[in-house]
Amino acid sequence: VQQDGASIVVGPLLKNNVEELLKSNTPLNVLALNQPENIENRVNICYFALSPEDEARDAARHIRDQGKQAPLVLIPRSSLGDRVANAFAQEWQKLGGGTVLQQKFGSTSELRAGVNGGSGIALTGSPITPRATTDSGMTTNNPTLQTTPTDDQFTNNGGRVDAVYIVATPGEIAFIKPMIAMRNGSQSGATLYASSRSAQGTAGPDFRLEMEGLQYSEIPMLAGGNLPLMQQALSAVNNDYSLARMYAMG
């Protein structure tokens, strides 16, 4: 690329390709459209990403602003879940909040088995001990996340969970929300929040009805506050909601 006269690279988009680019030690100026698991500070590289960790911090601020005191983070059993849980708990405690609970869920097939078995999801969990993040954005140690806890495990400061932040795909949350209601009833008192990972712009009426009462996080362009801009973005990607956020990145 440099031999062709290029002085700046915009991309890559995929995380693994960004990591490969870092390994190449390119001297070119790079605007990467994603960020690697472990961010390296280099004078010639900028990361421009829709980070789930940043979204989790925003969610913590929003939930705190709504007066909630006892949050539970419901996350996938993965490194993504680890990072989101840590980011949420760090921000929550920075805002003066107390303990944040965590609970992991498994695959879609495991969730389906839970629905069929009538087990539901209890609003309980184990405390997150936030790990410090270095200046480079690297987490020094991931929080330990356990499998689904039982009712006699930790509850937040001896009180009832009043907010649940869910990080799940549309397919996963289609099981998770009914499982929460199955175990706790519709009057549990906990407000449910979901990351933009759960958003499905093309969802049918049945899915929307099932998700009633769930608060999604979304970028302002797609949140509905400016309908002409939202329609412009969707039109640019042939109404493919999964690609619309890329429009906001230019």
> Given this model, what pLDDT does residue 111 score?
95
Q: Are residues 210 and 97 in the same domain?
A: yes
Among 30, 47, 64, residue at a domain's last position: 47
Position 97 in a domain = yes
> Given this model, what pLDDT does residue 186 score?
66
Q: Which structural domain range is residue 15 located in?
A: 2-47
> Given this model, what pLDDT does residue 157 score?
42
Rounded Cα gap, residues 66 and 248, in angstroms: 27
Spatial contact of 197 and 84, defined as CB atoms under 8 Å apart:
no
Half-sphere exposure of residue 205, counting CA atoms within 13 Å on the CB side? 0
Q: What are the angstrom distances between the C-alpha of 140 and each of 19, 121, 131, 152?
A: 19, 31, 6, 31
Q: Which residues of 204-233 are buried (b: 16+ CB within 10 A; e: fewer)?
A: eeeeeeebeebbbbbbebbeeeeeeebeeb
What is the pTM for the complete model shown? Answer: 0.74
Domain count, the chain: 2
Q: Are residues 76 and 154 in the same domain?
A: yes
Q: Are residues 131 and 190 in the same domain?
A: yes
Q: Are residues 106 and 189 in the same domain?
A: yes
> Given this model, what pLDDT does residue 191 score?
94
List the CATH number of the domain containing 100: 3.40.50.2300
From first to last of its 250 residues, the chain has per-residue pLDDT tens of 566 778 888 888 888 899 998 888 888 999 998 888 778 888 999 988 778 999 999 999 999 999 999 999 999 999 999 999 999 999 999 999 999 999 999 999 999 999 998 889 999 999 998 876 544 444 444 333 333 444 434 444 446 899 999 999 999 999 999 999 988 876 678 999 999 888 766 666 777 777 788 888 877 777 777 888 888 888 888 887 777 777 776 6
Rounded Cα gap, residues 144 and 20, in angstroms: 29
Sheet containing strand 8-10, edge to edge, reads 8-10, 29-32, 45-47
| 8-state DSSP, 163 | E
Q: Are residues 26 and 136 in the same domain?
A: no
Q: Are residues 24 and 142 in the same domain?
A: no
> Given this model, what pLDDT does residue 152 score?
39
